[in-house]
Structure 1
């Protein structure tokens, strides 16, 4: 039996190309386009993939439920798992779009910039929606901006569901470039406070002169996949005003959860 070498990589346009991954995507694209069940040998010939390699990739895709195999005809076709995966992505994107007017309304009421963050991987978060403050002097946060999962006010919320004693997590923390550095001990205490009061604060550590407050959007199983963050200039609100904003964000996140889930 042939095995797929995950180290089988080449350089393409300055980026690393992992051949087995590329071939798996090509196979899925081909099966989607032809629209009819195909034999492994025919797929390999059409895509110019080594037959045994193609067979092993197809078997893996069948195990992952994104390709179906008919034992009777010995042919492969796109599986329901792929359709469900695409549906989930499209549905979630649609729900984020539905949440945008709510973000804009909150930004106008609170006169701060509001961002919706999403956990995109075990170590990264990304802004999926942003609504700028309607004031003349404002902070713009670009959609698509990615950060280490521990960074910023939102990072402190995601950190409440991460083991900060894990050496790998501590190593990741040490590589973060803060505008205003802080120790892991201080960070750990701020994470504890965030878990206790339900909202987190980053005072100038993410970006000099900028203060952010964030609250979690809990999923039905109480995991944190999204956060909502209010971004403002330092000194824009006093301590009581920040606490009031934190409570307002908690209420808003309870509301927007009904749209995102």
Structure 2
């Protein structure tokens, strides 16, 4: 490369740094906005908030949906951050940062299902902890505090972790007997519910963890097949009928199967 080539290359770099491709910049602004607000929005509202031409905003959103980085709900006509966005950077982050990437997805799920959503993580050999919580944007909602720790067997999530344990082990039963349930149940009934959870892929706690509260949870499997995380939907007892609970459980299973690509 001679001196002329060097000058030309530097000039090209300067020119490239000075050019802004507006549609690309707007696409990044839209992605950043959807990740920050955490709730689905209409195209016209996004355009107004970001001062983008409505037609341009719609076309950018449609392209982002095709590229799987934005999700579109045809019923509500609203857009939200998609799982594909998290996959773009999944190789560059730690697990703690991966949990942060999951937050807008949990917020979107809470808004879509109209329930409080919690992400639980297994810690040590006998505890689980809430690492993220997203409340439903409704007038009446249930708040779950991040950092809350429970015995591993407790709640809907506990039943999922129990599916990978030997329930005939006396230590497991001893751990169960040491739990202070809000609405007591027998170990035999608990084991039946664990087996049912393993069969259908999601678990239910009907007021045993907290009186008046129903929780439905699904597992997030690691690449090795272990359960390190669960996602739980928390609502008031009687808020959904049996069929509605089933639909909720199946929605969580579908969500968790995709969330695994973000967390691992």
Q: TM-score if structure 1 supplies the norm length?
A: 0.65
How far apart, CA to CA, are the structure 1 residues paired with 2:212 and 2:232? 16
Please, which moves more after superposition, 225-234 or 163-172? 163-172
Question: Which structure is richer in relative contact order (CA contacts within 8 A, separation 6 or more)?
Answer: 2
SS at match of 1:143: coil
Please, which moves more after superposition, 187-196 or 167-176? 167-176
1:233 equivalent to 2:239? Answer no
How far apart, CA to CA, are the structure 1 residues paired with 2:160 and 2:171? 18
Question: Post-superposition, which runs of at least 4 consecutive aligned residues in structure 1 deviate over 6 A?
Answer: none
Of 89, 97, 100 in structure 2, the residue corresponding to residue 97 of structure 1 is: 100
Partner of 1:157: 160
1:224 equivalent to 2:227? Answer yes
Cα deviation for residue 163 of structure 1 reads: 1.0
Give the unaligned 5+ runs of structure 2: 1-92
Q: What RMSD over aligned residues (CA atoms) do the two structures have, in Å? A: 1.1
Aligned residue pairs total 173
Of 211, 214, 222 in structure 2, the residue corresponding to residue 211 of structure 1 is: 214
Cα deviation for residue 152 of structure 1 reads: 0.1
Give the unaligned 5+ runs of structure 1: 1-89
How far apart, CA to CA, are the structure 2 residues paired with 1:163 and 1:112? 32
How far apart, CA to CA, are the structure 2 residues paired with 1:236 and 1:254? 26
Partner of 1:115: 118
How far apart, CA to CA, are the structure 2 residues paired with 1:134 and 1:190? 31
Aligned ranges 1:18-37 → 2 under 5 Å: none
Q: TM-score if structure 2 supplies the norm length?
A: 0.65
Of 243, 247, 250 in structure 2, the residue corresponding to residue 247 of structure 1 is: 250
How far apart, CA to CA, are the structure 2 residues paired with 1:241 and 1:227? 20
Cα deviation for residue 180 of structure 1 reads: 0.2
Of 165, 171, 174 in structure 1, the residue corresponding to residue 174 of structure 2 is: 171
Cα deviation for residue 133 of structure 1 reads: 1.1
How far apart, CA to CA, are the structure 1 residues paired with 2:136 and 2:181? 24
How far apart, CA to CA, are the structure 2 residues paired with 1:162 and 1:148? 14
CA displacement, residues 210-248 of structure 1 (integer Å, 9 cap, x when unaligned): 000000000011100000000000011010000000000
SS at match of 1:161: coil
Of 147, 151, 163 in structure 2, the residue corresponding to residue 144 of structure 1 is: 147
How far apart, CA to CA, are the structure 2 residues paired with 1:228 and 1:245? 12
Cα deviation for residue 168 of structure 1 reads: 1.0
SS at match of 2:94: helix
SS at match of 1:117: strand
Cα deviation for residue 206 of structure 1 reads: 0.1
CA displacement, residues 157-195 of structure 1 (integer Å, 9 cap, x when unaligned): 000001111111111100100000000000000000000
